[in-house]
Amino acid sequence: MVGGGDRRMIWIYQTFHFVFLLASVYSECVTQVYENTYFQGGDLATVFTPSANYCQVVCTYHPTCLLFTYLPATWTEDPEKRFSCYLKDSDTEMLPKVDMEGAVSGHSLKQCNIQISACSPDVHIGLDMEGKIYDVTTADSYQRCQKRCTNDNHCHFFTYASETFHNASFRKKCFLKHTSIGTPTSIKVLDEVVSGFSLKPCQLSEIDCKMDIFEDQEFSGMNITSFFTPDISVCQTICTYFPKCLFFTFFTREWQIESQRNLCLLKTSTSGIPEALTSRENAVSGFSLLNCRRSFPACNSRTYTQMNFLGEELNVTYTKGHRACQQVCTDVIRCQFFTYFPLQDSCNEERKCECHLRMSSNGSPVEIVHGPGTISGYSLRLCKKKASTVCMQHSARTIRIVGGTDSSPGEWPWQVSLHMKLSRQRHLCGGSIISNRWILTAAHCVMSRKNPNIWRVYAGILKQSEINEDTPFFKVEEIIVHPQYKYAQTGYDIALMKLDKPMNFTDLQLPICLPSKEDANILYTDCWVVGWGYRKEKGRVEDILQKATVPLMSKEECQARYRRRRIGDKVICAGYDAGGRDACKGDSGGPLSCRHEEVWYLVGITSWGEGCARPRQPGVYTNVAEYSDWILEKTSELAKKVSVLAEKTLAKSSVTILQDPRKENWRRSLEINNYTIKSPYIIHEQSLASSNRGSTVTLHKSGETASDLFHTSQAQLKCQDQRSYHLIPLDSACLDCCTRDVTWCHMD
């Protein structure tokens, strides 16, 4: 391990309307994407995006979009419609599917329990994202062009013409662009150009962050639009996320013009600053916070007394208290805000009072009326802590010891030391705890040492010198290497170790979360590499666990450093051009840990590099997000077995029933090796005992007899013969025969 330091994790939503975020929600998370499919009808708007994923992000942040259809670059019927992103809505949350070659359709991710970041660091080679060109400069690379866009108040996206562009007068030119909605007006295929978005939403702008609030002052500028908001905080948040808003003025509830009370005016100017400041009593002004290098949450959990948020009435229900009303709004598909009426004449006999669920076309109230007896607020959907769906358990510890290279006890509780015990015992590689039975490491650490019996796993340790014969360790029951692994430089450098017994979590040993594929666009900026490896190329294993902060590097930059290797999506590169901080021998298999929204994710596995911390030779790490499905598949195989021989379902067979199954004990859920399984099948206790020898099985207390479940059409009946236990679909014909002793049960 070479070097140390700290870097804060930062991100911010893309510059779509903030009102897009105060949006209606989808009742269930549906991540499925439909190839060669077009959703018919329900059109809300059409925008242009460089990819289907970005189209889905736009739909997610639109106030009423539930579905989308995208026409990619390969669309042939009408070239002018390539890259079109059709945003759609439906009262039934679904639209007719029409076969259409090349089209891609999917759902909004509003209700998904995954982090959806609109920060888009990717660049698009060979695409010209069109918009209003307001500035043209010369730049040595597209990276410098993107940086200029990021550091320009007005820039939404850019196009860079390379030095081999066909028109010599445009070569190495950087075109800064903007539009009224922040997305391109069209996208064209064009050789030798690169396009991309501003990284201001990633909190990478170097422009001054203006957080001052100016009371009794009105900012002059070009008015963009206006919204009704309950206070200046919501007004400023809307300005922050509205594409063209640079500053704002808010009129308080004491403003002399009644129709303008609680009005939030979004403004801009050519210079980027207000044209003038005018003294206005009960006016408050401020700036967009988009340029700030810290996150400002879009969630607004506050409630406002004596305010009635007016909008389209979705439903009126009754709840006990305004917080319950707010929760109902959060749970209802289209509810964006609510008003609760606690007055006696608005309550029923159960002392539940009227809860009005409302929405609008832009996500904000169409009017705010002041008066006693009302409490209003917004949906709490944005306040939900969104974690990766692949995260098996969260680490609650967030304190970091910054500075230096030595780690502190419990600072990296997911780090393990992998020892190999042959003629002598020694630290060989690192690994990461991802659940109470699984360690994730590099394939090259174990490929030639696949005998589980030679490994010892030490968790919760800081110093190698503390390990002795009395130090507790875990044995390894099974080693799973990715089947496509050949050697580290060709990728697939990932392996799983299954522990011989479950691990008890403490402050010193905890799992790290796994990123999912949906997290691929997150721009991690607080990343650390940890291990006991060498501090220099010709060194030795360190005694104290070492740490170093390293910046992630784009795929294009990394490929330029390793021209003889192929740097694809399966790896991530990290390091400094000047060198000095990197992983080294002995760190292999250990974590590249990145913090996002106060949750630590295993973004990479230390894999390979040229030397250690050499200038312009970054470390190369296995991109864990690319293997999330494989990890889940392998670590869930036990859970699949617990589904009680589902793949052996009896289809045209005969079985003998030894006794009345109605009197037997059956289960629908159980725990096995600390996995909770809720099966669609009726599970028999004896089957679990016989088919999972060596596993820890705990049946849930809520047992049911077969007769309790016979009325359900989805029920499965377990029948026994002399060979094995089987699950068979239960129907009325089988029910008659299976309830008698020693009879045959024939399935159609």
Active site residue 124: no
Cα-Cα-Cα-Cα torsion 319, 324, 330, 334, nearest 10 degrees, comes to: 20
Residue written as tokens 């063209």? 244
Q: 720 Cβ partners below 8 Å, 6+ apart?
A: 655, 656, 657, 658, 726
Tell which residue, 391, 396, 389, 466, has the closest CA to residue 427: 466
Give the count of alpha carbons within 13 A of 612, CB side only: 20
Active site residue 493: yes
Q: Which H or E element spans position 223?
A: strand 222-228
The type of residue at 477 is: E
- 395 in helix, strand or coil? coil
Q: 179 Cβ partners below 8 Å, 6+ apart?
A: 131, 132, 156, 185, 243
Nearest-angstrom CA–CA distance, 84 and 39: 13
Instruction: Say which of 51, 205, 588, 593 is annotated catalytic.
Output: 588
Tell which residue, 599, 567, 561, has the closest CA to residue 582: 561
Instruction: Say which of 89, 128, 152, 493 is annotated catalytic.
Output: 493
Whether the Cβ atoms of residue 698 and residue 671 lie closer than 8 Å to each other: yes
Nearest-angstrom CA–CA distance, 207 and 288: 12
The separation between CA 332 and the C-alpha centre of its own chain, rounded to angstroms, equals 22
Please give the structure tokens belonging to residue 90.
């439906």
Instruction: Say which of 107, 419, 427, 444 is annotated catalytic.
Output: 444
Whether the Cβ atoms of residue 491 and residue 414 lie closer than 8 Å to each other: no
Nearest-angstrom CA–CA distance, 155 and 711: 62
CA-based radius of gyration for the chain: 30
Active site residue 191: no
Question: What single string gives the DSSP state of each residue in 682-735?
Answer: EEEHHHHHHH-TTS-EEE-S--EEHHHHTT-TT-EEEEE-SS-EEEEE--HHHH
Which residues does the annotation mark as catalytic?
A: 444, 493, 588
